[in-house]
Each structure stands twice: as C-alpha cells, then as structure tokens.
Amino acid sequence: MTSRRLPGKTRTRCMMAALALLLACGCASASAARPGDDETRKSALTHAQSRDADERLAAFTVLMKVGRQEDLPLVQFHLFDEDDRVRDTAEAAIWAIWSRSGDAATDRLFVQGVEQMRDGRLKMAVDTFSQVIAARPDFTEAWNKRATIYFLLGEDELSLKDCDEVLRRNPQHFGVLAGYGQIYLRKGELQRALDYFEQAIAINPNMTGVQASIDALRELMVKRGRRFI
C-alpha cells in the first residue's frame, strides 16, 4: 500500500477524530478502594447481568468506582450491550479499572500525571508516568498514558515502543490499538492504520472517532482502486 498521506479534508478529519479520542481516553482517573467496596462490587457484578437495562447501568456506574481487573471480561462483554447508556458506562468502567494499580501511592502519582496531562504540562507528565513505570512496570495504563503523551509531542517512535508494552500486557486494550492506528495514519501508512483501527473497533464498537477514521480511510482507498468485501 502506498505510504502517501491522506489528502486535504480527509486526512484532517481522520486526525481530528484521532486527537479527540486520545485526549478523551488519556484523562481517565483512578480512585482508591474503601472499606465495604468488596460487598458493593459483588452486588454490582450480579446486577450487571440483569435483564433490566437500568439495573445494568447502575451496576456499571458502581464498577467504575470499585471494579477490579478480574471483572474486565464481564464489563467488556457489555461493550456490545443493546442499551447505548450501558455501553457507554461499561466503557467508562473499563477505563477506570485500567487506571487503578491497586497501590495507593502509585495511584496518587498516576492521578498527578493525569492532571498534568489534562493541563497541557506534557513533559512534566512524561516524567511522572516514567516514575510510575519505574516503580510498577506491570501497571499497563501508565505505559498507555505515556504513549499518548509521546504521540501528542510528535514522538511517534517512543509512542510505538510504549504501545508495544501495553499490548504485550493487555491484548484487549482497544485504546492502544486505536493509538497504533493514529500513529500509522500520521506516518502515512494507510493500510496499517486501517488494520489497527479495525482491530480496535472489533473489541469496542462504540468509538465514534475510530469509526470515522475507518470510514474516511476506506472511502479514500476505494477511490484509489482498492476493493473491500
């Protein structure tokens, strides 16, 4: 596939959607566990399987605060829920769970990095997430946040290295799969970008920015003579 960049409005539309996704996904925050959370969590897990959409919605709202890594398969299943409110809340719960390391000191440092990132203090945030990674290299989301910042700073190769660390630890991380797509889109590697975007959307079909990028890329590639089944 040609490595030429997307022309004009098409490329701009893809990149705007990509940047919006990065900023949205890059600002999830962690919250510390509290006494009694375990019973609350168990109740939420039960209600998450209810036939009533309002009960499922309430359950995932609770899991945003108290959910654990082992709850992720159930939460991810509901990214395909028939109710759009439940799908959105399940996605928010996933980001919240990913953003909790299980260690209070690490989580405080992580939140500091997220705040720096939100405020646009990107180089400070890189340093903060690097401290988190040095202390807890198994904390996947610290790698993802640093990858996001490197992307925003234009450091694509550094971002790709951190994306590799994320995917090695969490192959279901739809955010980092979309991140690969954004990087390769900026590099002009359109087919590779499309492949990663499609992997991301297969796991989480609710990312409208990613779907917009897929649609724009497929439209462009059809115009260039590429056929899709």
State the Cα–Cα distance between residues 39 and 223, nearest whole angstrom. Answer: 56
Q: Find the range with the poorest average confidence among 19-23, 91-95, 104-108, 135-139.
A: 19-23
- So what's the pLDDT on residue 223? 86
Yes or no: say if 221 and 194 are a contact pair by the CB < 8 Å rule: yes
Yes or no: say if 159 and 143 are a contact pair by the CB < 8 Å rule: no
**Confidence check: pLDDT of 16 > 50:** no
Tell which residue, 59, 99, 60, 87, has the closest CA to residue 205: 87
What are the CA-CA distances from residue 172 to residues 111, 129, 187, 203 (Å)? 23, 21, 24, 7
What are the CA-CA distances from residue 149 to residues 27, 44, 173, 203, 226 (Å)? 11, 34, 17, 23, 33
Q: Which amino acid, 125?
A: A
Q: According to the CATH classification, is domain 37-98 in 3.30.300.20?
A: no
- So what's the pLDDT on residue 25? 43
**Confidence check: pLDDT of 15 > 50:** no
To the nearest whole percent, how much of the chain has pLDDT over 70? 83
Tell which residue, 106, 101, 103, has the closest CA to residue 141: 101
Q: Render pLDDT for 55-106 as a digit per residue (tens, 0 to 9).
A: 999 999 999 999 999 999 999 999 999 999 999 999 999 999 999 999 999 9
State the Cα–Cα distance between residues 6 and 220, nearest whole angstrom. Answer: 8
Q: Render pLDDT for 164-209 as a digit per residue (tens, 0 to 9).
A: 999 999 999 999 999 999 999 999 999 999 999 999 999 999 999 9
- So what's the pLDDT on residue 116? 98
- The average confidence (pLDDT) of the chain is 88
- So what's the pLDDT on residue 224? 82
- So what's the pLDDT on residue 37? 82
Domain boundaries, the chain: 37-98
State the Cα–Cα distance between residues 38 and 70, nearest whole angstrom. Answer: 13
Higher pLDDT, 158 or 221: 158
3-state secondary structure of 177: helix
User: What would the mean pLDDT of 106-121 be, rounded to a whole number?
Assistant: 97
pTM: predicted TM-score of the whole model, two decimal places:
0.83
- So what's the pLDDT on residue 206? 97
Yes or no: say if 57 and 83 are a contact pair by the CB < 8 Å rule: yes
Return the structure tokens found at 56.
């499922």
